[in-house]
Amino acid sequence: MSLFADITHEGARSLIGPYLGLLGASATAVGIISGLGEFIGYGLRLLTGYLSDKTRRYWLFTFLGYGMDLFAVPLLALAGRWEIAAMLIIMERTGKAIRKPSKDTLMSYAARNVGSGKGFAIAEVLDQIGAVSGPVILSLILLFKSGDKLANYRFAFAILLIPALITLILLLISRLNFPQPEKFEVKEETINFEGISKSYWLYLVAISLIAAGFADFPLLAFHFQRIDIFSPTMIPFMYAIAMGVDAVSALIFGLFYDKVGVTSLIIASSLSIFFSPFSFLSNSSLVVILGVILWGIGMGAQESILKSVVADIVTPEKRGTAYGFFNAIFGFFWFIGSAIMGVLYDHTIVSLVIFSMIVESAAVFTLFLLKSKLGNAVN
């Protein structure tokens, strides 16, 4: 199910930046749209996470969310203005906000059986198989289609209706086979954070900085198209490379987390600091590809380790709320950072890189402080 969903979502995401540019959007608009979409997609989870815990209707929220976000993607083929495309992008993120806390909660029940880091890492690998396949499929479509570039992009978005429908069919099959996945939960003692609440808030500060300094891929793709470093067919392929790195790094750092805790996040975040200078300042395709790889490492750590910490420290009956709150904070700072970087890009690209590196470095420093305060609590 996640595989086909990510073919839809990530296939579209690889083209959104250039598509908005072709429809007339500026870099500032791309940055704000991407950031606002992520903010809504994360911030709304605070409410949907609470409601899912309150009602215990995890499957219902999952169905509603998937129905909304999966159909918003192929509708991009009908957008005649960048403002309409922006509304559909925000609609897709809203759908993800509705279903994500419930889906993560359902997944967390099973993940506790094998170790939270390993469980979410495996889930992320399966997601990224789809995330690699989607951009590659669209790259091939654009490669073999000639004519108007905008028309080709619209055809590519329309094709994504096929994996969207397959996802919904598989979701229904999953619901019929596993109506009560909470029965997978293994009752274990959770880490006691009583008396170290300052450390928890320090953790929120760290992930907020990670979010604020991490550029969304549509802005990278917008830049690649503007400087003409890759052909239009290669930009989705670059995203596929990033998603492949995402999958591998999620598995590696997820397994590493189960052994050393926060140290795994420190290492991944330290590596991803350098994605911005390599991606935005170089005219060498090889250097830019290295930047995309470092970006993928950062994404992999975010998708596996950050969720693993929540699963380890929150009781099952409050986990939907916890994921909602956590994601709201993360999404808010992603929005702020994306908007700032979009404005900085239109001013000078160097200022964007400086901002990103300073904020990401501050995140790593905060994680070191967190590690020293937690001691052996999560290690």
Question: Where residue 360 falls among pLDDT bands split at 50, 70, 90?
Answer: very high
Which of 145, 178, 211 marks a domain boundary?
A: 178
Least confident of 6-15, 16-25, 188-197: 188-197
pLDDT tens by residue, 77-125:
998 889 999 999 889 888 988 988 888 788 777 776 676 667 777 777 7
Domain annotation covers residue 378: no
What's the confidence (pLDDT) of residue 104? 79
- The Cα 327–Cα 308 span in angstroms is 13
Q: Looking at the domain assignment, is residue 154 inside a domain?
A: yes
Residue 184 lies in a domain: no
If asked whether residues 201 and 163 sit together in one domain, one would say no
**pLDDT in the model for residue 264:** 86
DSSP class of 26: -
- As given in the structure block, the two tokens for residue 295 are 């970006």
- Are 301 and 234 part of one and the same domain? yes
Do 160 and 203 lie in one domain? The reply is: no
Q: Which helix (H) or strand (E) holds 198?
A: helix 197-212
**Which one of 29-38, 347-356, 369-378 scores highest in mean pLDDT?**
347-356
pLDDT tens-digit readout, 62-82? 899 998 888 899 999 998 889
Query: Is residue 121 included in any domain, yes or no?
Result: yes
For 89, other C-beta atoms within 10 Å of its C-beta total 28
Residues 87, 206: one domain?
no
Q: Which residue, 150, 178, 206, sits at the end of a domain?
A: 178
Asked if 105 and 141 sit in the same domain, the reply is yes
Q: Indicate if 249 and 322 belong to the same structural domain.
A: yes
Asked whether the predicted pLDDT for residue 310 surpasses 70, the reply is: no
Residue 95 lies in a domain: yes
Our count of domains for the chain comes to: 2
Question: Do residue 172 and residue 208 come from a single domain?
Answer: no
Give the pLDDT score at 34: 76
Instruction: Reduce the DSSP state of residue 354 to 3 states and report it.
Output: helix
Identify whether residues 153 and 10 lie together within a single domain: yes
Dump pLDDT digits (tens) for 194-245.
433 466 677 778 888 998 998 888 888 888 888 888 877 788 788 878 878 8
The boundaries of the domain holding residue 35 are 1-178
Whether 80 is in a domain gets the answer yes
Same domain, 87 and 215: no
146 shares its domain with 215 = no
DSSP 48-73: HHHHHHHH--HHHHHHHHHHHHHHHT
Whether residue 183 is contained in a domain is answered as no
Q: Which among 302, 325, 98 is positioned nearest to 212, based on CA atoms?
A: 302
300, 245 in Cβ contact below 8 A? yes
Query: Is residue 158 one of the residues assigned to a domain?
Result: yes
Q: What is the CATH number of the domain that holds 62?
A: 1.20.1250.20
Is residue 365 scored above 60 in pLDDT?
yes
Among 144, 178, 212, the domain boundary falls at 178
Q: Which pLDDT score, from 0 to 100, does residue 318 have?
A: 66
140-189 pLDDT per residue, tens: 888 887 778 888 889 999 999 999 999 999 889 888 887 877 776 655 44
Question: Are 68 and 166 in the same domain?
Answer: yes
pLDDT band at residue 315, thresholds of 50, 70 and 90? low
Distance from C-alpha of 66 to C-alpha of 293, rounded to nearest angstrom:
29
- 145 lies in the same domain as 219: no
The whole-model pTM stands at 0.65
* Closest to 135 (Cα-Cα) out of 97, 109, 163: 163
